[in-house]
Every structure is written in structure tokens, then in C-alpha cells.
Structure 1
Amino acid sequence: MSRRRLFVALRPPAEVCEALLDTMEGVAGARWQDADNLHITLRFIGEVDRHMYADILTALESVAMPPFPVEISGVGHFEGKRRSTAIWARVTPSPGLAQLQHRIEMACRLAGLPPETRKFVPHVTLARLNSGSAPIGEWLAAHGRLSCTPWLAESFALYESDLTPNGAIYREIHQFP
């Protein structure tokens, strides 16, 4: 039986993606994201079979709320053991974003998924780092005041993630208003 690796996300509009792409340089060894891979993950689902996939689609179709503004302001990074693992653009927390993320989490649990245990940190990943990546301090300082034009989130999407030797390839498979 075929399995799919899934996540739920918001996609920034093209002009925001362009602004983010303009920041993607200056850290040797960083694996910068492609424009098509820029998103705000609302819920990582992981690998599911076709039955769970159908249950997830049905549950996500029940998520409804009015559009809300989304804004990017600042940058940050995630750390693993003794080194940074990713750099990202910070998404300003907002009641609308928190409510949407919570409703998606509840829908995923209703579909039979276990609860997400990681704290929701709204962000757009810009680069993945490894032990060979250069230090990021100068990049973080240079882009600390990053700000993009706010946009109205009017839909979210279910994505499939295919892992390849060159990184993940994301494909939108269903959009929800």
C-alpha cells in the first residue's frame, strides 16, 4: 500500500516569497529553499496510508474561519546539538493564526492522528544548515529587521513532501478555503 508524507501549510503570496528570496545569500554551505518550498507549516502529519489520508481530507474540510492578516517581521534560527540547523523568517503571532493552527490540530486529532507535541513557532524556513555551514550571526544581524507587506490568509493547503537526495520537494495536493 502506498504511503504519503503530508503536512498542512499556508503559502505566502508571490511578492512575499520574492522578498524572502532576496535575503537568501551570505551563509556558505546553507541549503537555501526554493521559492516553491516557502510556507508556514501549520501541522506536520508525516507518513499516512490511503485510508488515513481520506480521513485527514474529510477532517480538514470541516475547518472554517474568516480570513485574517499574516505578517513577517524578523528572522531567527533553530538549534540542535551545539549548532544551528535552520534559519527562518519570523511570522508575527496573531489570534487568527493561532486559531487556525489550533483548529487544524483538532481536525488532525479527529482524523485519528496523535497530538502534536512540539510548540507551534510560526515561521518560514529559509535555509537548512549542517555542520559544514558557515556561522550565521552576521546574516541574522543583517536581516534582523526583515519585514514584508502583510497579506490576507484566505486559504490553507495540504501538501505532500517527497524526500530526495537534494532535499524535499513539496507539492500542494488540496486547498481549503
Structure 2
Amino acid sequence: MPRLFTALEIPADVAEQLSMLRGGLPGARWISPEFYHVTLRFIGDVDHVVARDAAAALDEIDRFGFDLTLSGVDQFGNHKPHSIFVGVKANQALNELQAEHERAMKRIGLPPETRNFRPHVTLARLRDAAPRQVADYLALRGYFRTPTFQVSRFVLYSSRDSVGGGPYRVEAAYPLM
């Protein structure tokens, strides 16, 4: 059974800038730059019939490309941090694309996503990281920002059932107009 999700790829030059944020935080398992992405819709572990239906539904999405900027370093987990990420500057076109993915997956019978969409690029997963050390790391890097880049396609990724962070394989790519 493939584990699938849709995402935006991060250009190599932007990934290189993000990789400069790696290090300086004990307990962090850093994601390889080639696996950086912005998840649009987690599909999950599905059989090959659902995978085919998902790919076909995504092929029907007809949207324009748009510009994207990554901005701000933060953490998920509040008092028990579990990951470090770079946020995405507010973007209406991105929100509309993600909503279209959600509608497409509902049309093929998948349950709705229960989590609110908070676009980001995960940099590290944390294991037993001290909240104070995480706060210090964020204080030094919180105002990080990338140059704006063009989003010209989205992809359907597959991944191993693991603890996250890759490896990911592009199963299909869908150009934006």
C-alpha cells in the first residue's frame, strides 16, 4: 500500500538557504534538503485503486502558478516541541490550491482532513529537545526569510511508512498554468 501526499517542491537554491538553518540544536534529526516540501494534502496509506483515483482527481485541478515566500522559523509542540519548521508567508493562491486538493480527495471518498492547513517546511524532528534550547534556537533564527520563488507545479509523493523526513518519491507532477 502506498503512503501518499500532495506537496509543493522547494527549489534547490531555496533548499540550500534552508539547509543553513541546520545544526545548533541537540535532539534534532535534520531533514535532508532534497526532501524539503510544503504539504498540501496528506492522503495516507491507500490501496492501488484509491491511489489511481487520487492521481486522476489531481489531474483535473486547473490552477495558475503563483509566487511563494518562506518566512519565520518556529516549532510545533508548544511546551514539548516535536519539530522545527519554516513558515509560509500568507498566500491566497496557495490556500485556494490546498482547498482544491481537499475537495478532490473528498470527491473520491477520502475522509476530510481534520487538521487546519498551516503551510510550512519541516526542517527537523525533535526527540527530547529541551524547550529552553528550542527557544534559544528560534530566538536566533526566527526572522529568517527566503526570496520569493515561482510555484509552477505540485506533485504527488509517495513515502515509506516511517518516522517522517523521507525518502520521498515523485509519483506524478501536475503543472500549474
So what's the TM-score if we normalise by structure 2? Answer: 0.93
Aligned pair in 2 of structure 1 residues 63, 165: CA closer, same or farther (>3 Å)?
Answer: closer
Q: CA RMSD in A?
A: 1.4
CA distance in 2, matches of 1:117, 1:165: 20
Deviation, 1:39, is: 0.3
Q: Percent identity?
A: 39
1:107-118 maps to which residues of 2 (within 5 A)?
107-118=104-115
Q: What is the aligned length? A: 173
Task: Give the corresponding residue for 1:106.
Answer: 103
Task: Give the corresponding residue for 1:38.
Answer: 36
User: How far does the alpha carbon of each residue in 1:53-100 deviate from its partner, in whole angstroms, 9 at most, with x for none?
Assistant: 1100110001111111110111111106x4101010011121110010
CA distance in 1, matches of 2:163, 2:3: 16
2:81 paired with 1:84: yes
CA distance in 2, matches of 1:33, 1:107: 29
2:163 paired with 1:130: no
Aligned pair in 2 of structure 1 residues 119, 95: CA closer, same or farther (>3 Å)?
Answer: same
Alignment gaps of 5+ in structure 2:
none
- Contact kept in structure 2, 1:161 and 1:168, CA below 8 Å: yes
Q: Which moved more, 1:164-173 or 1:8-17?
A: 164-173
Task: Give the corresponding residue for 1:159.
Answer: 157
Aligned pair in 2 of structure 1 residues 166, 74: CA closer, same or farther (>3 Å)?
Answer: closer
* DSSP-derived class of the 1:84 partner: coil
- Contact kept in structure 2, 1:5 and 1:45, CA below 8 Å: yes
Alignment gaps of 5+ in structure 1:
none
2:21 paired with 1:23: yes
So what's the TM-score if we normalise by structure 1? Answer: 0.93
User: How far does the alpha carbon of each residue in 1:118-164 deviate from its partner, in whole angstroms, 9 at most, with x for none?
Assistant: 00001000000012x24211110111110101111110000001135
Task: Give the corresponding residue for 1:10.
Answer: 8
